[in-house]
Chain A
Amino acid sequence: MFTYFAHRVLVMIPTLLVISVITFIIIQLPPGDYLSNQMAEMIASGDRAALEKLAFLRQEFGLDRPMLEQYAVWLGIWPGNNGFSGILQGDLGWSFEYNLPVDEVVGDRLFLSLVLNFTTMLFVYAVSFPIGVYTAVRQYSIGDHAMTFIGYIGLATPNFLLALILLFLAKKHFGVSIGGLMDEQYIDQEMSWGKFVSICEHMVVPVIVIGTSGTAGMIRRLRANLLDELQKQYVTTARAKGLKSSRLLLKYPLRMALNPFVADIGNLLPQMISGSAIVAVVMSLPTSGPMLVSALQSQDQYLAGSFLLFLAFLTVIGMFVSDLALAALDPRIRLGSEASK
């Protein structure tokens, strides 16, 4: 296992670097950059000094350098105007759009995104797990049919549509706006008990909206996996030997059915940051999703790059954790792969 751990770490680092290089390059692929776009507007409005200002700012922010050098400086593995000053040194760069350091811009939004999406993840697991087990154990019962029907609706309804419907219904029938993640008086305020309560109250609807499709999908997967396991011979053998149903279920089939869930950890971590972008726009949630979309649209390269690097980091870490867990849970050779070297 130690060898596997070391090999896996060694695979993870270049993967992360390659992903970050590619995302940085893709951000810069459209012609121009944030500054040149801004300057074009100033020139159009008759500002003659704009070109000189543009040249100065491009040099100041290192935008006149080759793309890979900009990347290396931003990462902190190559000296820039201020020596080594990049992500590895704790400097995420400058947001042109907000005219602030990226870490200050990201600030609360990243935290709120984490809280919202982590709560959603807990909601998805808490709801889907018992329902998935129930529908598999009581296959073709009324409860199974009812849950399956609700699950299909959940899968087929886009999150943002559900958000719009709930916004409309809440406004029409209760006269309240359920958008946002806290009451207006708490926006840009320090965290307090009142703000915490307000966030918790406002979080209920977004959690349900974002979690519905995930819950439905997970119920279907758990049901299918568990049904597969329950039909295997060892389950029949164990039943014939008189093992209690609950013990049998928990000890063998459920454990085997969990493998796809463990493998899914890799996708869960990045979703905690970016998974709810469209819903966040619709419901005016102050999370990181809309900011990432806006940064990509305006080519605010360091802000977008920081987000994407963080997402890549979470993806790679998630895959790493899920691979380790799978290797520990089920270190079997798969059909079709080599028996040994």
Chain B
Amino acid sequence: MSKHSYPIGTLVADYMRAACGIFPPLALMIFTELLPLFFYCMTALILLFGIYGIRTAWRQCTALIVDRDGVRQEGPLGGVLDRSLRWSEMRDFRLRYYSTRRDGKGGWMQLVLRGDDKRGSIQMDSNLPGFNDIVAQVHAVAKERGLPVDPASATNLSHLGLDTDGLNMPSADTTLPS
């Protein structure tokens, strides 16, 4: 069993982003009389980065516990919004890569795990220590159970050094007649 949580060092930049997205628009709204269009834009920005800040704080207080049976996400509300997923119940997963730079560098990966029920998904990103190990475990489960893997996830898996042979790939996929 391993326990993973986001170190504060990786979240500082996110807190700063939230502050940059909230305080300048707020100052403009307080000190100047904005055109209604810009007022709504600033309100939207404050809401967006408010949610972003809350989400960052949530991530700071959340831990992911991974073992041989599955993965469990434990939040700060004493089990109210906790989620768990057994490997045997995993329906599919997505491994995405995002970067805001034009050359595609300096980005981050996001892993989304979904189960049979519709109680939501478990998400984590590559800032989480041990992320590559979790992806490797998900990859092994997907291979063993023949879970469908979309092309983007397969490409990202291969960039993490994981073998995509034997995965259930949609390019030769279930939508094609056999």
Q: Is there contact, CB below 8 Å, between A340 and B171?
A: no
Give the docked Cα–Cα distance between A338 and B31 (Å).
43
User: CB of A45 within 8 A of chain B?
Assistant: no
Interface string of B86-111 (1 = CB under 8 A from A): 00000000001111100111111110
- Contact partners of B160 in chain A: CB under 8 A: 339-340
User: CB of A152 within 8 A of chain B?
Assistant: no
User: CB of A142 within 8 A of chain B?
Assistant: no
Interface string of B9-31 (1 = CB under 8 A from A): 00000000100110000001001
Q: Is there contact, CB below 8 Å, between A3 and B98?
A: yes
- Contact partners of B96 in chain A: CB under 8 A: 1, 331
- Which residues in window 134-178 of B have CB below 8 A to A? 151-152, 155-156, 159-161, 171-172, 175-178
Q: Which of B98, B125, B172 has the most CB of A within 10 A?
A: B98
Give the docked Cα–Cα distance between A327 and B103 (Å).
13
| Partner among A2, A323, A332, A339 whose Cβ is within 8 Å of the Cβ of B152 | A332
Interface string of B110-128 (1 = CB under 8 A from A): 1000000000000001110
Give the docked Cα–Cα distance between A110 and B26 (Å).
31
Q: Which of A10, A77, A337, A340 has the most CB of B within 10 A?
A: A340
Q: Is there contact, CB below 8 Å, between A337 and B105?
A: yes
Tally of contact residues, B, Cβ under 8 A? 47
Interface string of A1-16 (1 = CB under 8 A from B): 1111111111100000
Interface size class of chain A, counting residues whose CB lies under 8 Å from the partner chain: 35 or more
Give the docked Cα–Cα distance between A89 and B48 (Å).
22
- Which residues in window 306-341 of A have CB below 8 A to B? 323, 327, 330-334, 336-341
Stretch from A168-176, A238-246, A272-280 at the B interface: A238-246
- Contact partners of B106 in chain A: CB under 8 A: 337-338
Q: Is there contact, CB below 8 Å, between B35 and A333?
A: no
CB distance from B165 to the nearest CB of A (A): 14
CB distance from B82 to the nearest CB of A (A): 20
| Partner among A84, A327, A331, A336 whose Cβ is within 8 Å of the Cβ of B33 | A84
Q: Is there contact, CB below 8 Å, between B109 and A340?
A: yes
User: CB of B38 within 8 A of chain A?
Assistant: yes
Total A-B residue contacts, Cβ distance less than 8 Å: 111
- Contact partners of B152 in chain A: CB under 8 A: 330-332
Give the docked Cα–Cα distance between A155 and B170 (Å).
39
| Partner among A5, A11, A238, A332 whose Cβ is within 8 Å of the Cβ of B156 | A332
Chain A, Cβ-Cβ closest to B49:
A6
Binding site for A on B (CB under 8 A): 17, 20-21, 28, 31-35, 38, 45, 48-49, 51-52, 55, 96-100, 103-110, 125-127, 131-132, 151-152, 155-156, 159-161, 171-172, 175-178
Binding site for B on A (CB under 8 A): 1-11, 76-77, 84, 88-90, 234, 237-238, 241-243, 251-252, 323, 327, 330-334, 336-341
Q: Please, could you name 7 A-B residue pairs with CB atoms under 8 Å apart, sorted by A?
A: A6-B49, A10-B17, A84-B31, A88-B35, A89-B33, A333-B155, A341-B108
